[in-house]
Amino acid sequence: MKTLDKSRVNYAESQAFLAGGVSSSLRSAMKPVPLFAAAGSGPRISDVDGNEYIDYLLGYGPLLLGHSNPAITDSIHAALKCGTTFGLQHTGEFELARRLTEALPCAEQVVLSGSGTEAVMLALRLARAYNGKRKIVRFHGHYHGWADSIFTSFPSSDMRQFGSVLDSDNQIFPGTEGQSQQALEDILLLPWNDSAALEETLRRYGHEIAAVISEPVMCNSGCILPKPGYLELMRKLTEELDIVMILDEVITGFRLSLGGAHGKFGLKPDLVTIGKALGGGIAISAVAGRKELMELVGNGTVSHLGTLNGNCIATSAALATISELSKAGGAVYEQLEQTAVRLVEGIRRLLVKHGIAGIINQAGPVFHMMFTDELKVEDFASFNKRDAARYTEFAAGLLEEGVLVRSNGLWYVSTAHGDQEIDETLSAMDRALNTLRGG
């Protein structure tokens, strides 16, 4: 058995001073104890007890280039020589904005912010200011950050209290105690990947709907790809009905391609939100999109504030990330795809070998592994039929075998993961599945 004594002691001690002992509610779900990290390097992370793991949590997604990527850390060190933040403009901001407009097909202009949550808040505000309407369509099982105006219907398996859904009167519940119920009044919650429900709702309430916001791939609930034509229908209807189409690419942005999921799928939403991989582990996010909308920030119609927005540490990390991802004409993405496919195919073989029913949905270097008797997981309803408790137990088993994964089943792969890590991971999983079957 691995010793996790120091993590346990640190967790107990931190609970005295740090509310809940963690800095983001999801982290308390980790079994057998929220780990305390010591250091990360490439695809590996070590904890305070001296255990080493192959890391597929990857900071919940930002570490597309692995831990301590030298290009990113060097650029941060170089930036630090001049300071950290100025409250004045610096050239890194417009350079980054320019690179983003080159990379993201829908981006004519860019606004920089601090987190995915903030980027979504701004995108919703821009939409409402643009067309003067109020309602926002969002989908079951998608996650768009924890702001009062949008936090509902979040999959609950690795959170204590969340997971609100519509009740029988179609009332939308807040995602947490303390959240304003009124803030959700303008939300219309729909099943995703259901073209008929989308078309019916948009045609019926389009005169009241400011925006539709959607993850382009439902990464937060099963890594489910859009059905053919679904996002295209969303684009067509929103254009026709003067509704702003927002793709929340906080996970998929840079992870699926340098042009995000919308670049990969050949779509042009009005706005996208990106975060996570953009900063390679440093807090930064962006809203990008059509000039007509973005100009509302430019001309002062829409306020966008933030003390640390565009600080030079964050912009230098983002610029280094873009340079790395642009190398050799995007060869990085072929490598990421190959690594993820090799891993996923290996896991599928192991599930068959152990006689365990499971599904893995993959979108490039992100995939969701589920224990389920379903033949396909294509929507939120089938996603909810998975055995989440069994997976959480399995994640703890993998940790024991030296592989760190998120307890809800979502795996991230980085450019630092190579054949050796995949081989080690599959051997570790073989052992963990043995224990699971026996248990």
CB of 438 to ligand PMP, least distance (A): 34
Dist CA 261 CA 267 (whole Å): 8
For 290, the 3-state DSSP assignment is: coil
Nearest distance from C-beta of residue 219 to ligand PMP, angstroms: 6
Stretch that binds ligand PMP, among 139-147, 342-350, 370-378, 430-438 (CB under 6 A): 139-147
Name the region of 87 (left: φ>0; alpha: ψ -120 to 50; beta: rest): left
Within residues 103-122, the interface with ligand PMP by CB under 6 A covers 115-117, 120
When the beta carbons of 144 and 429 are compared against ligand PMP, the nearer one is 144
Token look-up 């706005």 returns 271
Q: Return the beta strands (E) in 30-121 as ranges.
A: 37-41, 44-47, 52-55, 109-113
- What is the 8-class DSSP label of residue 299? T
CB 47 within 8 A of CB 39: no
Nearest Cα residue to 415 out of 104, 67, 103: 67
What gap in Å lies between CA 410 and CA 416, rounded to an integer?
A: 18
226 vs 275, which CB is nearer to ligand PMP? 275
Q: d(Cα 76, Cα 135) in Å, to the nearest integer?
A: 41
Determine if residue 227 is left, alpha or beta; phi over 0 gives left, psi from -120 to 50 gives alpha, anything else beta: beta
Indicate which single residue of 72, 79, 243, 250 sits in contact with ligand PMP (rule: CB under 6 A).
250
Residue in 220, 321, 372, 384 binding ligand PMP, rule: CB under 6 A: 220
Q: Which is nearer to ligand PMP, 158 or 421 (CB)?
A: 158
Which residue's CB is nearer to ligand PMP, number 143 or number 436?
Answer: 143
Residue nearest to ligand PMP (CB): 116
Would you call 248 a catalytic residue per the annotation? yes
State how far the Cα of 39 lies from the Cα of 12, in Å rounded to an integer: 21
> Interface with ligand PMP includes 410 (CB under 6 A)?
no
Q: Which helix (H) or strand (E) holds 138?
A: strand 135-139
Q: Which is nearer to ligand PMP, 283 or 433 (CB)?
A: 283
156-215 residues in contact with ligand PMP (CB under 6 A) are 215
CA–CA–CA angle 189, 193, 196 (5° rounding): 80
Least distance to ligand PMP from the beta carbon of 285, Å?
6
Q: Under the criterion CB under 6 A, does residue 361 sit at the interface with ligand PMP? A: no
Q: Which range of residues in 80-88, 183-191, 244-252, 335-343 is near ligand PMP by CB under 6 A?
A: 244-252
Alpha-carbon distance of 278 to 318, in angstroms, equals 5
Counting contacts by CB under 6 A, is residue 253 touching ligand PMP?
no
Tokens representing 278 are: 């953009």
Q: How far, CA to CA in Å, does 70 sit from each of 66, 283, 350?
A: 10, 18, 35
Q: How far is the CB of 108 from ligand PMP (least distance, A)?
A: 22
Q: Please select the residue that binds ligand PMP; options are 184, 251, 319, 395, rule is CB under 6 A.
A: 251
Q: Does 412 bind ligand PMP (CB under 6 A)?
A: no
Kindly state the smallest distance separating residue 130's Cβ from ligand PMP, in Å: 21
* Nearest in space to 362 (alpha carbons), one of 385, 389, 342, 387: 342
Shortest Cβ 250–ligand PMP spacing (Å): 3
CB closer to ligand PMP, 42 vs 275: 275
Alpha-carbon distance 188 to 84, whole Å? 41
Q: What is the DSSP letter of 221?
A: G
- The 58-97 site mask, x for binding ligand PMP (CB under 6 A), equals ----------------------------------------
The answer to whether residue 216 forms part of the interface with ligand PMP (CB under 6 A) is no
The pair of structure tokens assigned to 336 is 């990421």
- The three-class DSSP label of residue 247 is strand
Question: Contacts with ligand PMP in 258-287 (CB under 6 A)?
Answer: 275
Catalytic residue among 264, 268, 276, 391: 276
Q: Does 408 bind ligand PMP (CB under 6 A)?
A: no
- Could you list the active site residues? 143, 248, 276
Residues binding ligand PMP (CB under 6 A): 115-117, 120, 143-145, 215, 220, 248, 250-251, 275
